[in-house]
A = this chain, B = another copy of it.
Amino acid sequence: MDLFLSTFENKIDRKGRISVPAIYRNVFERKNTSLYLFKSLTKSCLEGCGIDRINQIVDAIDQMDVLSEDTLTLQTMLSSTQEMKFDNEGRIMLSDDFIGYASLDGIALFSGIGRSFEIWNPLQWYPRDTATRDSAKKGKVPKLSFARNSNQGYS
């Protein structure tokens, strides 16, 4: 499965192009698949993923009540989704819509969060990162079980 880690800050040039970090790009080049970008439902950022993730959403919709609120929400995600094309240098073009939604301005921050990655205005991302770390230091660290029969938390 796809795995996106680390953070990177890249420039948006005057043509609206931005380099996708090479290690993210490799995920798509290896499998010869496309990168899909959509507006995050809950945060003011863009979210990037592979076709697998998109298919998960589509399948989820198929199994839900057509009239439900959740269906509408997922459909909203899909309607904002764009299939991105890489140029020879591994860059993509961000639409004005995307740039506006994420309040991007000259520099974008890629933040790998596992199965997908986010694209942020650095000025909005850093305070959130700091806040989350501060919260964790106050003891709000999620417990992960690393051994089968253990109650050991992570710290």
What are the residues of chain B within 8 A of A80 when measuring CB–CB?
Answer: 6-7
What are the residues of chain B within 8 A of A22 when measuring CB–CB?
Answer: none
What are the residues of chain B within 8 A of A69 when measuring CB–CB?
Answer: 135, 140
What are the residues of chain B within 8 A of A114 when measuring CB–CB?
Answer: 57-58, 61-62, 75, 78
Q: Do A41 and B137 touch (CB < 8 A)?
A: yes
* Chain B CB within 8 A of A155 CB: yes
CB < 8 Å neighbour of A78 from B5, B41, B57, B78: B5
Q: Do B112 and A73 touch (CB < 8 A)?
A: no
Instruction: List A residues 71-115 near B (Cβ within 8 Å).
Output: 72-76, 78-83, 111-115
Contact residue range for chain A? 35 or more
* Chain B CB within 8 A of A132 CB: yes
Taken together as a complex, chains A and B put the C-alpha atoms of A74 and B56 apart, in Å, by 21
Q: Do A132 and B72 touch (CB < 8 A)?
A: yes
Q: Do A56 and B6 touch (CB < 8 A)?
A: no
